[in-house]
């Protein structure tokens, strides 16, 4: 896919380390010739990890941003504007829910945990899209990451499932509004199968989950290839090949979601 995104620029939110789905998306975009800038959650340890992880992509900038803070979002896009002028692609690959809410019965979910999970994991897409639209070029692409728990019961996914359902709905509303606006920006979600990342470890037994995917998915799905599959679909959605696709949630899970038994 070399050269597919030559001359394009992407702002990527949600790389923590080389295992992050955001990292694998960045890898595919980089291979296709896209210039990249990144955000990271403020914190000395995290910054060091992210700087090291994104080094191979020759980043144009790194902007601290806690997406629960409006001021951080504003300054991150100011940084993107200074470094890029305008850009073409926004990658939203982040989520958070308090650990308690993931390890207690769903009925015990507190109002605070609900607000935090939906704020960071779903509202942030809207907040980033709003800032991004001013700097994005016509026919740009926004992508976000969802999970099957938005649709079906998954043990321990709890309030994160509610956040993903809100995220997928947000994708449709943003897609309708932004597609009809002057710049015709596309907005899509990828619903990924299990990938061994920090966030996944926070939810449950990722090894057990991965085994389940390996056994049940029609296509081979395992730790070594999972994130790469996601990165490739991200490349498609960010490229002109997906010029007629918006508001969709595309499953990239080896077909796991179509199997009933």
83 Cβ contact list (under 8 Å, min separation 6): 37, 60, 61
* CB closer to ligand NAD out of 44 and 182: 44
Which of the following is catalytic: 147, 213, 251, 256? 147
116 counts as binding ligand NAD under rule CB under 6 A: no
Among 19, 40, 157, 256, the one annotated catalytic? 157
Show the tokens assigned to 108.
């015990």
Annotated catalytic residue 251: no
Q: Is 34 helix (H, G, I), strand (E, B) or coil?
A: coil
Give the C-alpha separation, 109 to 237, whole Å.
Answer: 35
| Options 94, 159, 234, 242; binder of ligand NAD; rule CB under 6 A | 94
Rounded Cα–Cα distance for residues 249 and 149 (Å): 13
The answer to whether 25 contacts ligand NAD (rule: CB under 6 A) is no
Choose the binding region for ligand NAD from 61-69, 73-81, 128-136, 175-183 (rule: CB under 6 A): 61-69
Size of the site for ligand NAD (CB under 6 A): 26
Residue number, 194 or 235, with CB nearest to ligand NAD: 194
User: Is residue 96 near ligand NAD by the rule CB under 6 A?
Assistant: yes
Is position 15 an interface residue for ligand NAD (rule: CB under 6 A)?
Answer: yes
Helix (H, G, I), strand (E, B) or coil at 181: coil
Phi first, then psi, for residue 16 (nearest 5°) are -110, -40
Q: Where are the alpha helices (DSSP H) in the chain?
A: 21-31, 44-54, 70-84, 99-103, 111-118, 124-135, 158-180, 198-203, 206-216, 226-238
Supply the residues annotated as catalytic.
147, 157
Interface residues with ligand NAD (CB under 6 A)? 14-16, 19-22, 41, 65-68, 93-96, 120, 145, 147, 192, 194-195, 197-200
């Amino acid at each position: 896919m070399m050269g597919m995104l030559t001359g394009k620029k992407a702002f990527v939110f949600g790389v923590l380390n080389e295992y992050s789905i955001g990292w694998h998306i960045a890898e595919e975009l980089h291979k296709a010739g896209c210039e990249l800038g990144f955000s990271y959650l403020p914190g000395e340890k995290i910054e060091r990890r992210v700087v090291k992880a994104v080094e191979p992509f020759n980043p144009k900038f790194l902007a601290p941003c806690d997406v629960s803070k409006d001021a951080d979002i504003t300054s991150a896009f100011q940084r993107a504007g200074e470094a890029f002028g305008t850009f073409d692609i926004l990658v939203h690959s982040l989520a958070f829910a308090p650990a308690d809410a993931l390890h207690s019965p769903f009925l015990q979910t507190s109002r605070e945990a609900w607000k935090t999970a939906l704020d960071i994991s779903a509202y942030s897409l809207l907040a980033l899209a709003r800032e991004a639209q001013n700097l994005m070029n016509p026919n740009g692409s926004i992508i976000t990451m969802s999970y099957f728990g938005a649709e079906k019961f998954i043990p321990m996914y709890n309030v994160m499932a509610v956040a993903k359902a809100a995220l997928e709905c947000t994708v449709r509303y943003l897609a309708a509004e932004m597609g009809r606006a002057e710049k015709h920006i596309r907005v899509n979600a990828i619903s990924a199968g299990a990938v061994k990342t920090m966030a996944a470890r926070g939810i449950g037994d990722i090894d057990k989950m991965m085994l389940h995917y390996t056994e049940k998915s029609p296509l081979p799905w395992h730790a070594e290839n999972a994130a790469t599959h996601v990165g490739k679909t991200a490349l498609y959605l960010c490229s002109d090949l997906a010029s007629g696709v918006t508001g969709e949630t595309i499953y990239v899970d080896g077909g796991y979601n179509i199997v009933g038994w």
